[in-house]
Structure 1
């Protein structure tokens, strides 16, 4: 299949693009910087709607995967950018593709919910309060053609300064604190790439909480990182100070993909990282 991955230099985008390429698909990356791991690239800014229309206008792609987002504190600092890239861009893409065979796969997040009344299903009403929360909720697509994947993600980052949880952990020498009462549901970016490949081959649309059954505490998630990537060498202390439950529950099973348990996801992610160490020279693996 033919994929255009927007934000292909980011934490999610580079893994999704590279996984799909290695699976034999035709993958073009869209980013503002060079993508040496891909054979085809469009260089530009996603706010350039004319460029997007040119890129997509001939129906050259089966799926456009939107991995672009303005995260957390960056959203607070750039309200206009967050409102456009998080909230408006997915709908711009859907509008461009409306008359094309191209489908839009959009990435959403558990942060559309405040975490006070979890667990949350696909039909739960988003109640997140931050700029990031609200703009990501505004960007969700739920229609008869396109597909929104709602879940949290963890994964490696080719940017040493990336703000993801795994990047943070890989830079720690310890001891670190892990929240025992902050509950998490999500996918590694590698697992998300697998889910997207499956969905691309199936005629599914709408919105899905693409998560495995059950949740895991942030403490136990860090322990899995430690086991599989650091050889157990980082001391992780229990920290009960933060109580937050953004647990997602999947009730939409139109897509046949079933997410693996957390331990298997992290183990497979570790194998992926070790096999591509040249992408992550800032990681010290144990």
Structure 2
């Protein structure tokens, strides 16, 4: 199988690229700066859409994994860019590959839901309230060829300025708070990579929630980080 990973230098993208490469798949990565895994193509989807289109049309990929996105406050501060990357781009890629063998696996987020109700299922009303939440909701692919995975992920980030929970925690030197009633049901970036591999093999389509078997409080999650990565058991 041939994979094209968009946004391969991000927290999700670099783990997905590394895992699939280690499994023996042919991996091409699309990043804004040099990336050492697979065949790397440097470009910016926001400024170089023609280049990205050319790569997809000529690459004969089995799967395009879209990990490109503008997160949280960055989306709020750059609304035009957020709409382009989070909302428009996934549908553009899906339309571009509509008559090709290439399938799209698109990364969405559990933030399309506000969390006020809880126990959301795939077809629950998307009640996310922030600009980021709504821009990601608009970008979801729900058709008979492509796949959208809604998830919340943790993992290491190549970018030292990454805003993920794990990166944030590992930078802390003093005591931090962990919310005992804030529950998390997400997965690690490695689990996400394995799920993408399986989904591609079985040709999974539509929208799916990618969650773990048992939710955990943010307090207990940080306690695990503290024990296993900082050695404070």
TM-score by length of 2: 0.97
- 1:53-132 aligned at under 5 Å gives the runs 53-132=53-132
Task: Kindly indicate whether the alpha-carbon contact (under 8 Å) linking 1:151 and 1:210 is maintained by their aligned counterparts in 2.
Answer: yes
- 1:218-233 aligned at under 5 Å gives the runs 218-232=218-232
Structure 1: runs of 5+ lacking an equivalent: 234-286
Q: Give the distance between the partners of 1:223 and 1:138, measured in 2 at CA.
A: 35
**Secondary structure at 2:143 match in 1:** coil
Q: Give the corresponding residue for 2:12.
A: 12
**Secondary structure at 1:3 match in 2:** strand
Q: Give the corresponding residue for 1:165.
A: 165
Q: Give the corresponding residue for 1:181.
A: 181
Q: Give the distance between the partners of 1:75 and 1:44, measured in 2 at CA.
A: 20
Q: Give the corresponding residue for 1:264.
A: none
For the aligned residues, what is the CA RMSD? 1.1
Q: Give the distance between the partners of 1:232 and 1:112, measured in 2 at CA.
A: 35
Task: Kindly indicate whether the alpha-carbon contact (under 8 Å) linking 1:113 and 1:126 is maintained by their aligned counterparts in 2.
Answer: yes
Q: Give the corresponding residue for 2:38.
A: 39
Q: Give the distance between the partners of 2:227 and 2:141, measured in 1 at CA.
A: 37
Q: Give the corresponding residue for 1:26.
A: 26
TM-score by length of 1: 0.79
Q: Give the corresponding residue for 1:239.
A: none
**Secondary structure at 1:150 match in 2:** strand
Q: Give the distance between the partners of 1:141 and 1:219, measured in 2 at CA.
A: 33
Q: CA deviation at 1:59?
A: 5.0
Deviations 1:28-83 (A, max 9, x none): 110110002x1301111112332122111135210000001100110111000111
Task: Kindly indicate whether the alpha-carbon contact (under 8 Å) linking 2:3 and 2:28 is maintained by their aligned counterparts in 1.
Answer: yes
Q: Give the distance between the partners of 2:229 and 2:3, measured in 1 at CA.
A: 30
Task: Kindly indicate whether the alpha-carbon contact (under 8 Å) linking 2:43 and 2:52 is maintained by their aligned counterparts in 1.
Answer: no
**Secondary structure at 1:108 match in 2:** strand
Task: Kindly indicate whether the alpha-carbon contact (under 8 Å) linking 1:59 and 1:102 is maintained by their aligned counterparts in 2.
Answer: no
Which one is further off, 50-59 or 143-152?
50-59
Task: Kindly indicate whether the alpha-carbon contact (under 8 Å) linking 2:21 and 2:38 is maintained by their aligned counterparts in 1.
Answer: no
Deviations 1:91-124 (A, max 9, x none): 0110111011000000111110111001111011
**Secondary structure at 2:88 match in 1:** helix
Structure 2: runs of 5+ lacking an equivalent: none
Aligned length in residues: 232
Q: Give the corresponding residue for 1:152.
A: 152
Task: Kindly indicate whether the alpha-carbon contact (under 8 Å) linking 2:26 and 2:38 is maintained by their aligned counterparts in 1.
Answer: no
Task: Kindly indicate whether the alpha-carbon contact (under 8 Å) linking 1:3 and 1:63 is maintained by their aligned counterparts in 2.
Answer: yes
Task: Kindly indicate whether the alpha-carbon contact (under 8 Å) linking 1:59 and 1:100 is maintained by their aligned counterparts in 2.
Answer: no
Task: Kindly indicate whether the alpha-carbon contact (under 8 Å) linking 1:59 and 1:101 is maintained by their aligned counterparts in 2.
Answer: no
